[in-house]
Structure 1
């Protein structure tokens, strides 16, 4: 199968530090190649992939030192490049939310869009009503709740390659928080849980510009005033096995409709149980009493973190291998791709002609060159 993967350009593929969507795209792309498919990745030039790379920007946006840059312009250039080559692919798999819809109306039946973010924001519903011909994939069933009318084709949980994580059979006695310092992630709860248990807490987290005030006024004073808390900062994939594997439990004390939560399965890959608040996707990812604990209150979280060491770390890793490997994710997507192909109606007009009918400004010579 000839598959295009179209990623956001904010982070490298995979990200150097924090990053979710681009990390998933990286692992999905490599797993599809390993399963024998012909995959083309549209991404920034710093991507590392086993697929054929079409570089559409010199580097990912967030770590680009240029003082002035346009994320919209870079994404439009990428989508134009995908559109020029659309005839080359059986499936074009977008991870760019909704920005591609107006440009790809003529070939909507050969596209699939995975939605990676929250969907309970104002104005979003109107987009999916207007462009209902585009098939969508959710990353958890809970993510769909604000848009029950949307053209959902499947739910595919994220997966990660197990070989980049080393499971640890024994912890080093500390609790871990990994993610972003933001109000919805509730790092304050993590600090409160660790303090109540008198256990060390290591926090490996990114502070976005939008969250600097929250960090400076709420979290930083809690960190600096507590000898149990160690703020590590952002870490990359190569550091996660040691960080998560050494933890007695990962604290996931969220207070928002988390669409998936990669950090939960990263912890599971290291054999580390997860203490998660029952919110968003957590009930779909965590098996209560087996791979961690689901809680509703701070008191329950403290009690759960206190008994996390009783769970079988080898069994937690085994559940990751069964449910959340990158190969398992790729196979589920292949089922969705196959269904998409089976439902596609016969089109007597060539793909080039159908696109040109809607977008006549695309250079005809680009199609000739690509088909040569």
Structure 2
């Protein structure tokens, strides 16, 4: 099958440091290539991929030192480039929210769009009501709740290449926080939990410009005043095995409708249990009592983190391999692509081999696939 993957231009594919969507696109693209498909990636020129790369910007936006940049202009240029080559592909898979909708409305049946962000924003409903012809994929069932009427075709949980993460059979006794320093990620809760347990906490986190005041006025004073807390800063993929694998538990104390939470499965790949607040996608990702614990209060989180060392780290890694590998993710997307092809007019006559080989079952729920 000839597949186009269209990535956002904010981060490299995969990102050099923090970044979720572009990391998922990178792993999906390579997994599809490994499964024998002809894949083209539209991205910035600093992408690293086994697919054919069509660069549409000299480098990813966030690490571009140019003082003045237009992310809208960059993405419109990319959409135009994809449109010019659209006839080359059986499937065009967009990861760029809705920016392509006005341009691709006449060929929407050749596209699938994965939505990677939160969907409870004021203006989104009007867009998905206006362009119902675009098939959508959610990254968790919970993510769909603000837009139940949208044209959902499947939920596909994220996956990662297992070989990127080293399994650690034993921890080094500290707790970990990995992500962004922002109010919805609740790093303050992580510090409270570690302090209550008198356990060291290592925080590897990115501080966005938008969160600088929160960092300087709320979190940094908590870090500076607490000898248990070590702020590591932003880390890259090659540092995650050591950081997450050494942790007794990953704290995921979020306070927002998390669409997925990639760091949870990164921890699981290292064998590290996750203590997550029951919010957004966490009940779909964490098997309570097996790969971690789901909690509703600080007191519950303290108790859960205190017994996380009792969980079987090898079983946690095995669950990652079963549900969250990059290959498992790619196979689920191939089911989505096959369904899209099968529903096109004259699909059997136009692409009989592809449709027959990839025709999925009618049940597109994650439970039916896992």
TM tier, shorter chain? Answer: over 0.9
Alignment of 1:2-13 (within 5 A): 2-13=2-13
Q: Which runs of 5+ in 1 are unaligned?
A: 348-372
Structure 1 residues 257-278: Cα deviation after superposition (integer angstroms, max 9, x where no partner): 0000000000000000000000
Question: Aligned partners of 1:124 and 1:106: how far apart in 2?
Answer: 21
Q: How many residues align?
A: 348
| Alignment correspondent of 2:243 | 243
How do residues 123-272 of structure 1 correspond to structure 2 at under 5 angstroms?
123-272=123-272
CA drift at 1:346:
3.9
Task: Name the CA distance, whole Å, in 1 between partners of 2:329 and 2:160.
Answer: 8
- Please name the residue that 2:337 is paired with: 337
Q: Does 1:279 align with 2:289?
A: no
Matched residues in 1 for 2:341 and 2:120: separation? 30
TM superposition score normalised by structure 1: 0.93
Shift of the alpha carbon at 1:343? 0.3
Secondary structure (helix, strand or coil) at the match of 1:271 reads coil
What secondary structure is seen at the aligned counterpart in 2 of 1:307? Answer: helix
1-side partners of 2:78 and 2:119: how far apart? 24
Q: Residue 314 of structure 2 corresponds to which residue in structure 1?
A: 314
Separation in structure 1 between the aligned mates of residue 32 and residue 18 of structure 2, nearest angstrom: 23
Q: Which residue of 2 aligns with 1:16?
A: 16
**2:352 matched residue in structure 1:** none
Q: Report the Cα offset of residue 106 of structure 1.
A: 1.2
Following the alignment from structure 2 to structure 1, what is the Cα–Cα distance between the partners of residues 125 and 265?
29
Cα distance between partner residues in 1 of 2:24 and 2:134: 21
Q: Distance in 2 between matches of 1:206 and 1:346?
A: 49
Report the equivalent of 1:68: 68
Give the Å deviation of 1:146: 0.4
The corresponding residue for 2:59 is 59
Q: CA deviation at 1:218?
A: 0.3
- In structure 2, how many angstroms separate the alpha carbons of the residues matched to 1:121 and 1:58? 31
Cα-to-partner distance string for 1:15-63 (whole Å, 9 max, x where unaligned): 0000000000000000000000000000000000000000000000000
Match of 2:289 in 1: 289
SS for the counterpart of 2:335 is: helix
Distance in 2 of aligned mates of 1:346 and 1:104: 20
Give ranges in structure 2 of 5+ residues lacking alignment. Answer: 348-370
Q: Which residue of 1 aligns with 2:325?
A: 325
1:6, 1:209 → 2: CA distance?
26
Aligned to 1:365: none
In 2, the alpha carbon distance for the partners of 1:270 and 1:234 equals 19
Whole-angstrom distance in 2 between the partners of 1:249 and 1:226? 19
- Residue 350 of structure 1 corresponds to none
Deviations, residues 42-96 of structure 1 (Å, cap 9, x unaligned): 0000000000000000000000000011100000000000000000000000000
Q: Distance in 2 between matches of 1:152 and 1:345?
A: 20
Determine the C-alpha separation between the residues in 1 that align with 2:123 and 2:43.
28
Deviation track 1:135-186 (CA, whole Å, cap 9, x = no partner) reads 0000000000000000000000000000000010000000000000000000
Determine helix, strand or coil for the equivalent of 2:171. coil
* Cross-structure match for 1:44: 44
| Distance in 2 (alpha carbons) for counterparts of 1:151 and 1:105 | 14
Cα distance in 2, alignment partners of residues 226 and 154 from structure 1: 45
Deviating beyond 2 angstroms after TM superposition, the runs of 4 or more aligned structure 1 residues are none
Question: TM-score under structure 2 normalisation?
Answer: 0.93
